[in-house]
Structure 1
Amino acid sequence: MKETPEEIAALQDLLDRSHAKSTEHLRSIISDDRRLTADDIVALLTGMKVISVATVTAEGHPRISAMDGHFLHGTWSFSTSGTAAKARHMRARPDVSVAHVDNEELAVFSHGRVEELQPTDHDYDETLGHWTAHYGSSPLDWGPSIVLYRYRPHWMVGYAWKRSELLAQRGLAP
């Protein structure tokens, strides 16, 4: 958990706005007792999580890939080879959807845009350092053209089937 109080407040605002403008059907599933708060999400999404990232081809065909995701400062970071099809898709069409689903226990769904992290970005060193510490080697050493991404969601909801039980099982206070 590297989130500042301001980042947690911004994430909570995003979650609240997203839930409020969701369809009646989605709100009936993600009822108040199943909604994850920003505090819940940052506590539950520590370490590496498998995320599904949906991109679109030039012809408008959807593509989905499983990737390693790290939730830092209230959003996802992830990486892939710059030669991967998904990297080409994200360069040309940076609007993507990202989901993390942990069985029926919890899910976080979002829509937003990706940005390639650049060495001059304020969060580049911290993000690269986090990834390097987690894996024991720098992702930049994994291949000739590895790209790190920062995700900027504009819509996000968090869901837990049995929120109180899930938080208790994972040692978190509801």
Structure 2
Amino acid sequence: MLETEEEIADLQHLLDASISRAGGHLTGIVSDESRLDARQLVTELTGMKVLVLATVTAHGEPRTSCVDGHFRHGRWLFGTAPTAVKAKHLIARPAVSATHVDGERIGVFTHGRAQVFTEGPEFEAHNAYFTEFYDSDPQSWDEAGVVYATIEPGWMVAYAAGASAFPAG
């Protein structure tokens, strides 16, 4: 768990605000008893989690793909090749949705805006993290290298079957 107390408080505020804006269908499924709080969420999302990432084409058509998602400081972080269609979508149209699902055990649904890093201090910090995590420099994985993106969440809901059994770090 890398989040500060302030980041956990901000994440809890986002989770509470998001569910308060949800419709009856969603709140009927994601009840008080099946929601993870911020501490449970950051504890559960340690390490790499497969994300289904949704971007938008220039014609407004949705496109999904999978990325290695890392939940750090209350935000999703991932990398991709700069030549990937998803990278081009994210740069041109940063609105994005991401979903992490582990069967019926947990689901984390996020809508927000992507920020793509191609250079600079944030890029270097993300590259150092991924190099340590994968024990290999991601810049060596593709001739074009790797760009990194974070999702600044504007809405997030975390569902878990048996949420009370999830540890809170």
TM-score relative to the length of structure 2: 0.94
Q: Alpha carbons of 1:145 and 1:19: their partners in 2 closer, same or farther (altered >3 Å)?
A: same
Q: Structure 1 residues 124, 85: CA separation in 2 closer, same or farther (over 3 Å shift)?
A: closer
State how 1:1-174 maps to structure 2 within 5 Å.
1-121=1-121, 123-143=122-142, 144-165=144-165, 167=166, 172-173=167-168
Q: In the TM superposition, what is the alpha-carbon distance from 1:163 to its structure 2 partner?
A: 1.1
Instruction: Quickly say closer, same or farther: Cα 1:149–1:173, change in 2 above 3 A.
Output: closer
Q: Structure 1 residue 131: deviation in Å?
A: 1.1
Find the residue that maps to 2:111 and give its secondary structure: strand
Structure 1 residue 140: Cα displacement? 1.7
After TM superposition, give the deviation of residue 151 of structure 1 in Å: 1.1
Unaligned runs of 5+ in 2: none
User: 1:118: how far off?
Assistant: 4.7
State the secondary structure of the residue aligned to 1:60.
coil
Amino-acid identity (%): 47
Contact 2:138 2:145 in 1 (8 A): no
5+ residue gaps, structure 1, are none
The question of whether the paired residues in 1 share the 8 Å contact of 2:90 and 2:116 is answered with no
Tell me how far 1:173 sits from its aligned partner: 4.9
RMSD: 1.4
What is the CA–CA distance in structure 1 between the aligned matches of 2:104 and 2:93, rounded to whole Å?
31
> Normalization by structure 1: what TM-score?
0.91
Higher mean alpha-carbon deviation, 127-136 vs 22-31, is at 127-136
Give distance in 2, aligned partners of 1:124 and 1:83.
Answer: 17
Q: Secondary structure at the match of 1:131?
A: helix
Question: Quick check: 1:53–1:65 contact (8 Å CA) kept in 2?
Answer: yes
| CA distance, structure 1, for counterparts of residue 129 and residue 116 of structure 2 | 16
AA aligned to 2:141 is W
- Where does structure 1 differ by over 4 angstroms across 4 or more consecutive aligned residues? none
